[in-house]
Amino acid sequence: MLAGVASGLAEYLGINVIVVRLAFVVLTFLGGAGIPLYLACWLLIPTSDTGRSIAGDLARDLRAASQNL
């Protein structure tokens, strides 16, 4: 719903999206790992339409900027 992480993981794993969302909620309440894990997935998992991740794009932009200096 927020960034498509749960639905993308559910589709990749072949399970119901509710299971993935519940796992994130449970991890959030039992130790607090759900939110950082969700954010890490959002940054690192490539999108289905471009095949590129946010972190990958950022790294490429930083590398290009450092070469232009």
C-beta atoms surrounding 5 within 10 Å: 20
Give the predicted TM-score (pTM) of the model: 0.80
54-67 and 34-44 helices cross at what angle (nearest 10)? 60
Helix (H, G, I), strand (E, B) or coil at 16: coil
The predicted structure's pLDDT at residue 1: 72
For the stretch 30-58, pLDDT in tens is 999 999 999 999 999 998 888 889 899 99
30-63 CB burial, b ≥16 within 10 A, e <16:
eeeebeeebeebbeebeeeeeeebeeeeeeeeee
Residue 18, both tokens: 């509710």
